[in-house]
Amino acid sequence: MTSPIAAWLSERHMTQRQLAAEMGLAPSSISMKINGDTSWQQKDLVFFSQRYGLSSDFVLGLVPREGVLV
């Protein structure tokens, strides 16, 4: 299954490296989170909500893309 954030990045023509820079994280950290090797942290979920209006449910894959307003 494709990560909702991987699909979202693709739609925005944004790379994992660009997202990592915006979040102040290492690109490898973003890759591990997108691949499900490590969990998104609360600060990550707050970032997505405040910066992009994405719900934590979307980031965590609990609701489909249609449930997101952004």
Q: Could you tell me the domains of the chain?
A: 4-63 (1.10.260)
For tokens 């979307």, the residue is 58
Position 65 confidence tier, pLDDT thresholds 50, 70, 90: low
> Which of 54, 53, 26 has the alpha carbon at shortest distance from 38?
26
Share of the chain above pLDDT 90, in %: 86
For tokens 């965590």, the residue is 60
pLDDT digits (tens, 9 = 90+) for 22-53: 999 999 999 999 999 999 999 999 999 999 99
The pLDDT, as a whole number, for residue 1 is 63
What pTM was estimated for this model as a whole? 0.87
DSSP state of 38: S
